[in-house]
Amino acid sequence: MITLRDQPIEELLLLAQKGDLRSRETIIEENRDFIARVSSKICNRYLTWNNDDELSIALIAFNEAIDGYDPREGMAFPTFARRVIHHRLVDYFRKEAKHRHIPLLTEEADEEFSTYDVEYAYQQYHEQQQQENFEAVMEHYIAELTHYGVTLDDLVKVSPKHRDSKETLVRVARALSGERALLETLTKQKLLPIKELELLTGVKRKVLERGRKYLIALTLIFSNPSFYALKSFTDIPD
């Protein structure tokens, strides 16, 4: 918690509670790092402004802490603010999970939350977010595949059964992803540059033609960072 050089934090808090917007804005601005640090610890991952909704919730909570702080209760403002942020984030996880019909622990009458309660709520919320993100990426990937005349059913049918064959196609797809000119041929003309790939990799034309759809699917993943989360979906060997 940062104490401003020109005024103690307690004086600024009192002014803010009386309606001084400038004091409130100063307190918030000077403590953005504190808010991010506390929130990241609660969420057990690094959070960044403008990218994570949790920080927006924490910022609102910090603003509430300014209004609700009473030094007569004997608690330092940083401790009080941390507690309010903690409660608001857990409440946010609960509401998000409830909205998505995810069962959480029953809320206790006590306002305090146990460490397990916090971790469980966040775990359920985070897992649901990951699932939604995966589904969105998959939807985008499927739409992209259609431009090349490839479907998910195709991938199931043409996916190599032998590890050696799969590793060969993975090697070709990685090589294609690293060659800008060849990659442009694929993305613009929607055609796999068979002849050039044969010369580049030494893999026979027959093998490349037989694995065309699988090669296209792999290359899209290797060349587009937003698709790389699908690596496990296509069972790409390391």
Please report which confidence band the pLDDT of residue 107 belongs to, taking 50, 70 and 90 as the band edges: very low
Mean pLDDT across the stretch 84-88? 90
Does residue 183 carry a pLDDT above 80? yes
Whether 31 has a pLDDT exceeding 80, the answer reads: yes
Other Cβ atoms closer than 10 A to 127: 12
Burial class of residue 92, CB neighbours in 10 A (0-12, 13-18, 19+): buried
43-47-51 Cα angle (round to 5): 125
Pick 170 or 5 by higher pLDDT.
Answer: 170
Task: Write out pLDDT tens, residues 137-150.
Answer: 788 888 899 999 99
pLDDT tens track for 34-57: 999 898 888 877 888 888 888 999
Structure tokens at 8: 């103690």
Cβ(195)–Cβ(212) under 8 Å? no
| pLDDT above 70 for 129 | no
Closest to 69 (Cα-Cα) out of 11, 2, 4: 11
Q: What is the DSSP letter of 4?
A: P
Which alpha helices (H) appear in the chain, and where do they start and end? 9-17, 21-30, 32-43, 53-68, 77-99, 115-146, 152-158, 163-177, 180-189, 194-201, 205-210, 212-223
DSSP state of 230: G
8 Å CB contact between 177 and 222 = yes
- Cα distances (angstroms) measured from residue 51 to each of 36, 43, 54, 56, 117: 12, 14, 9, 9, 25
Confidence bin at 211 (pLDDT 50/70/90): very high
Q: What gap in Å lies between CA 225 and CA 179, rounded to an integer?
A: 16
pLDDT band at 121 (very low <50, low <70, confident <90, very high): low
Answer whether residue 101 shows pLDDT above 70: no
Grouping H, G, I as helix, E, B as strand and the rest as coil, residue 172 is helix
Higher confidence at residue 129 or residue 31?
31
Q: What is the mean pLDDT of the chain?
A: 80
pLDDT tens per residue, range 191-200: 999 999 999 9
Residue 75 confidence (pLDDT) above 50 = yes
- Max mean pLDDT range (89-93, 128-132, 209-213): 209-213
